[in-house]
Amino acid sequence: MSVGTAPGKVILFGEHAVVYGRPAIAVPVHDRQATAWVRPTGHRQPGPPGSGILLQAEDLDRRYPLTAAPADDALALIVRLTLEALELPLSQNLAVTVRSAIPIASGLGSGAAVSAAAVRALAAHFGAQLTPHQVSELVYQTEVLHHGTPSGIDNTVVAFEQPVYFVKGQPPEPFRISRPFHLLIGDTGIPSPTKVAVADVRRGWEANRARYDALFDAIGQTTDEARQAIEMGDIAALGPLMDRNQALLREIEVSSPELERLILAAKGAGALGAKLSGAGRGGNMIALVTQATAERVAATVRRARAKDVIITCVG
């Protein structure tokens, strides 16, 4: 049996604006992982190519042959794409099983992580070596299926597994973190409708490009200042920058009452800054905490009805 894994991710700065060519910063969340297993089934199944490939999504309690997968099935798509990239036919006899500890539709990159884990497990099964860039390119195609017009940041972070500064259409830039810092991730428990939120922002931009471009420029400037602070080790500066980014995200109407409740709770308990992460309208809030304040903030965010709380160290 061959195994592949991939981490979750959070966007620190720049969500939504990144779709329009502004920078974003994202980091992996190694505390939450997706895992895929590939094993030979040992017998040939009758039928067209792909009949012998069994797919199993344990979290969704689904088990089905590749040939029975619907057109919008991301697992089936990534298996097809990976075999094509490896120059292998669909006439394989194997089982591909995926499982994820990353909440679905929460802005933590669950779909991208599952796809990346499947790519790695298939490559390992066939003794192939794929670069992070190749993994990212394959996973991006499933992100289009998930999100319509994705920024490309999810597939980049889960494939490279390190903090990146990202501008759409340009190679990702891993960058130096002078001092580790701690993030608290609070899950609203409300699915984050990435495709819907991205489409709504696009409609707003098309209706008033000057206003939205000014907001995207301000988000991009905030992101650049955040990168400089991280590289200089000025962690205290990140809190106000997170608050500024959140104010701009409110302006493009992607926050929600549930996110604002968790942000207020985190700030009230001593977080240095807090904002939504990802598409918004649900999903996760992230807060900058210290080792001294992390547990207090976590307890307060849980009392504010967070479904799950993760504390992770970046760097």
User: For residue 199, what is the domain's CATH number?
Assistant: 3.30.70.890
Domain hosting 260: range is 176-314
Same domain, 242 and 132: no
Total domain count for the chain? 2
Same domain, 133 and 235: no
Same domain, 162 and 183: no
CATH label of the domain that carries residue 26: 3.30.230.10
Same domain, 92 and 122: yes
Task: Report pLDDT for 308.
Answer: 93
Q: How far apart are CA 156 and CA 5, in angstroms?
A: 15
Task: Report pLDDT for 45.
Answer: 66
Task: Report pLDDT for 195.
Answer: 83
In this structure, the chain runs to a length of 315
Q: What is the helix (H) or strand (E) element at residue 7, kind and residue range? A: strand 2-13
Residues of the chain with pLDDT > 90, as a percent, come to 82
Same domain, 126 and 200: no
Residues of the chain with pLDDT > 70, as a percent, come to 99
Please report which residue ranges of 30-178 form alpha helices under DSSP H: 74-85, 110-125, 132-147, 153-160
> Which residue is it, tokens 């699915």?
191
Phi-psi region of 97 (alpha: psi -120 to 50; beta: other; left: phi over 0): beta
pTM given for the model: 0.83
Is 12 within 8 Å of 152 (Cβ atoms)?
Answer: no
Average pLDDT, the chain: 94
Same domain, 16 and 150: yes
Asked whether residue 147 carries a pLDDT value surpassing 80, the answer given is: no
In a domain, 294, yes or no: yes
Residues 6 or more apart whose Cβ sits within 8 Å of residue 226? 12, 13, 25, 237, 238, 241, 242, 245
Task: Report pLDDT for 107.
Answer: 76
Q: Cα-Cα-Cα-Cα dihedral of 189, 190, 195, 196, to 10°?
A: -170
Same domain, 243 and 155: no
Asked whether residue 271 carries a pLDDT value surpassing 80, the answer given is: yes
Same domain, 150 and 117: yes
| Exposure string over 137-170, b if 16+ CB within 10 A, otherwise e | bbbbbbbebbbeebbbbbbbbbbbbbbbbbbbee
Q: How far apart are CA 311 and CA 180, in angstroms?
A: 13
Kindly report, residue by residue over 287-315, the tens digit of the pLDDT.
999 999 999 999 999 999 999 999 999 98
In a domain, 203, yes or no: yes
Same domain, 135 and 18: yes
> Which residue is it, tokens 């190749």?
134
Asked whether residue 46 carries a pLDDT value surpassing 90, the answer given is: no
- Residue finishing a domain among 166, 192, 217: 166
- Residue finishing a domain among 166, 200, 235: 166
Same domain, 119 and 210: no
In a domain, 44, yes or no: yes
pLDDT confidence tier of residue 43, bands split at 50, 70 and 90: low
Is 18 within 8 Å of 164 (Cβ atoms)?
Answer: no
Q: What is the helix (H) or strand (E) element at residue 267, kind and residue range? A: helix 257-268
In a domain, 171, yes or no: no
In a domain, 289, yes or no: yes
- Residue finishing a domain among 131, 166, 201: 166
Same domain, 186 and 208: yes
Is the CA virtual torsion 206, 188, 103, 277 positive or negative?
positive
Radius of gyration of the chain (CA): 20
Please report which residue ranges of 25-101 form alpha helices under DSSP H: 74-85
Same domain, 136 and 18: yes
